Every structure is written in structure tokens, then in C-alpha cells.
Structure 1
Amino acid sequence: MTVDATLTARGLLLDMDSTLVNSEAVVELLWQRWADEHGFALEEVLAIAHGRQGWATMAALLPDRPEELNRADNARMLADETRIVEGVVPVAGAPEFMASIVALPHALVTSANIALTERRMDAAGLPLPSIRITAESVTLSKPDPEGFLKGAAELGLPPEDCLVFEDSEAGISAAKSAGMRVVGVGPRAIAFSPTAHVDDLTRIRVEPLTDGRFAVHVLR
């Protein structure tokens, strides 16, 4: 492997689903059920759903539907997602990547709630960062930048010093709106013009520097 790009940062902000944890089988199963109930094709739903909180996806697809119905559907879906962990595995390279950043400032920024976050990270065998921004932490879902801005604030860093790892259009858009650079992870991410792109986390190497920053090497 050779270095394709090097990005420097003082903190990392990490999405969870499809960035660290492969939970797509469960996600597709439950959204298929919802899509069937409401007359949508699964592909139509997933084009919006990735990266967003469930209620926000429902609101985008059914703009005239009362919010309380979307919130209720979202609560039921979260309960099912928390219960079903078959097929939830780490994204390739995620265990090694998480081990390499354990001593560096980093936070999880996910659209999942606390219970689902803990369940999926545990199912994938990944350590849970001490700083995490979950659905309970924000009033607005990605693509709004609120979650990433809160993550940077929790790290005590300005947005421009943070590097985001994301897979979805909503997440990449949120990071860019927050004034942050983005490493897109996985095949979906490349279409949304991240700062750099990797197929999975086996292509990332992190190197501490002497001035409090660290270098993130993107390999090809």
C-alpha cells in the first residue's frame, strides 16, 4: 500500500453505522417492513435513511404525516434494532483503527440513541468512546451539523481541527456544514465528495505528531 493522502487533525469525530459497525442487514430488514406498510420501495427509503434519525427519514418521505406518528414508529424501530444484533459486525479494519486512536481525542457522533449505540458497539466488539453524541444529545438530525459541532465542543476543539469519518450523504453533508473535513468510508460515500475516501478502515493509518496534532494517512 502507498499513501494516497495525509490529513492532519487534533480530534476525530466518528459515525457508527456503516463507518465502524456494519449493521446494514438489520437496518434493511426493518426499513423494508416500514416501506411495505407505507407503500414505498426499499431503495427509495434507504436513499434518504442512511445517516438520519428514523423520524427524520419518515418526515422527509411523508411530509404531511403528524410528527407524533413518526416519533412513535421511530421508537418501535429503535426497540427492534436494539433487540436484533444478528449480522452486526465491525467494518473491516475497525478494531485496529479504534485501537490506534485510543489515546487520541475522539468522539462518536451517531444518529442512534444511547441504548442502540451501546448494543451495536458491543455486538461488533468495539470499544465505546468516552465522549459520544447520540440522538438524545441533539434536537436536529443529520444533515444538520449540530451533532458534529457538539462533538467538537466536547473535545474542546474548533471545527477546523476535527476530522470526521462518515459513510452517508446526510453525515458527510453535516460534517461539511460544520466546517470539517471528511474521510468517506465505504462504497456509498464516494458519491458525496468527501475530502478523502477509503473502501474500509484497513486503509487508514494514524501517526501522532510532535505538536499535539496527528496525521491520518489514507492508503491505496
Structure 2
Amino acid sequence: MPATPTAAVTTLTGRALLLDMDGTLVDSGPAVERVWRAWALQYGLDGDQVLEVVHGRQGFASMAILLPDRPMEQNHEENARMLAQETADTEGVVAIGGAAAFLASLGGLPHALVTSADDALARARMGAAGLALPPVAVTAEHVTLSKPDPEGFLLGAKLLGIDPADCLVFEDSEAGVAAGLAAGMQVIGVGPATTGYGATVSVDSLHQVTVTEADGTLTLTITA
């Protein structure tokens, strides 16, 4: 009989987990696309190109890339309006496969949400997806810079009282992976595209990740 293939297993260790939201825990793609395609149409921009830029970034940072000659003050003002639109539009927002069980497994373990959404949007999307918001959350109000800058992840580590080098990041976007690596952290990429972004290891689903704890050390067992 032919040999049965064995699953490849990767083990990572750390002391805390920092979790992105959109695309990592929550599938908000349809809502994001509705809001940003309408914005692109308003400015005569290609919707597909706009969506490539906005993923993982705060809105004002995306606008600065897409409309480079526009004053940043205007970007911040418009971003505030768009965040309100996104908060009101939760149609089709659901949990990423395995996210509920994964979050439940982290009860009592050091972890934080680090998202480009503001507090209202994070609560709206996590609630729509039926997911509990982690007790520690870094949202847009807490930082001055957007991913790919590492500010958010470094703040998450500080709030948890954990050295950045001992934090493990879960991310799905190119900007997010870059932010985690820039913070000096190992990055678990969610989705096959993250291999190309330089993630430490990539998974297709959170179902592939198991977290255990012993003496303050978290061990992630990742099955391919």
C-alpha cells in the first residue's frame, strides 16, 4: 500500500498574540468593497486598484497614496465620514472560518486586537460576526500612524507588558505583515497570499493553529 502522507507541522513560541481583525478574524470584504468602490467612483479612480491599496491600511493613509496632492487634513476628515459609513454597513460581515474557536482557545492568555478600524467599527464588525472583542484592543484612535508602520503592534505589546520580540502576530494583508515584521515580531499569515508578503509562516485557515500554554510560554502548533 502507498504510504499515507503526513502533515507538516511548524511550531512557534512566544508570550503573547496580536491579532488583526479584517481578513484575519472577520470577513468584511463585501462591506469594504461597497464603501471604497463608491469612493473610487466619486474621484474617477479604478475600483480594483483602490481596493488593492486600502487593504490593511487606515483610510487616511490609503487616500494619501491614491490622491497624493490632497491635503492630509482633508483625508482625515473624509476618513471619519467613511468610518461611520462602514460602521453602519455590516451586511455580509461574518467570522473567518475557525475564528470563533480560535478566540475561545485564548481565554486567559495574553492577546490583543490590533486593527486599523476605529473602536466603533471594530465593535460593529466583531459583533456582526458573533465574535467577542478581546479585553485589550488597539484601534485607530490609539495610534498616529497606519500599518505598515509598526506603531500599533508595538503599542499592543506595551499594553500587554510583553517584549515585542516575544509577540506573535496574525495578519492577512501585505501592510499588516510588513508592520508585524517591522515590530520585530514573528508573523503568522492568514491566507496563501501572505507567503509572498514575507510572513514567517502562512496558513489557509485558523483551523490549522493550536495554542497551548506552559509557564508563561505560548506554543503555536501549525499543521499544514
1:163 corresponds in structure 2 to 168
Contact 1:152 1:162 in 2 (8 A): yes
Q: Quick one: which amino acid aligns to residue 110 of structure 1?
A: T
The alpha carbon displacement at 1:190 in A equals: 2.4
1:196 maps to 201
Partner of 1:213: 217
Matched, 1:92 2:97: yes
Q: How many residues align?
A: 219
Q: Please state whether the residue corresponding to 1:188 is helix, strand or coil.
A: helix
Q: Choose which of 135, 140, 149 in structure 1 pairs with 2:145.
A: 140
Report SS of the residue matched to 2:85: helix
Distance 1:123 1:21 in 2: 9
- Read off the aligned partner of 2:121 and give its amino acid letter: L
What is the distance in 2 between the residues matched to 1:60 and 1:76? 18
Post-superposition Cα deviations, 1:24-51, rounded to whole Å, max 9, x if no partner, equal: 0100111101111112212211221111
Q: Which runs of 5 or more structure 1 residues have no equivalent in the other structure?
A: none
Q: 1:9 aligns with which of 14, 24, 40?
A: 14
Ranges in structure 2 where 5+ consecutive residues have no aligned partner: 1-5
Provide, for residues 36-80 of structure 1, a one-character-per-residue CA deviation record: whole Å limited to 9, x for no partner.
111221221122111100010000111110122212221121111
Q: What amino acid is aligned across from residue 213 of structure 1 in structure 2?
A: T
| TM-score where L is the length of structure 2 | 0.95
Task: Determine which structure has more spread, i.e. the larger CA radius of gyration.
Answer: 2
Report the residue type matching 1:129 in the other structure: P
Query: Which segment is superposed worse, 40-49 or 87-96?
Result: 40-49
Kindly provide the amino acid, as one letter, of the partner of residue 213 in structure 2: P
Pairing partner for 2:77 from 72, 75, 79: 72
Matching residue's letter, 1:127: A
Percent of aligned positions that are identical: 55
In 1: Cα distance, 2:74 partner to 2:166 partner: 39
AA aligned to 2:140 is: A
* Secondary structure in 1 matching 2:10: strand
Work out whether 1:102 is the aligned partner of 2:107.
yes
TM-score when normalising by structure 1: 0.96
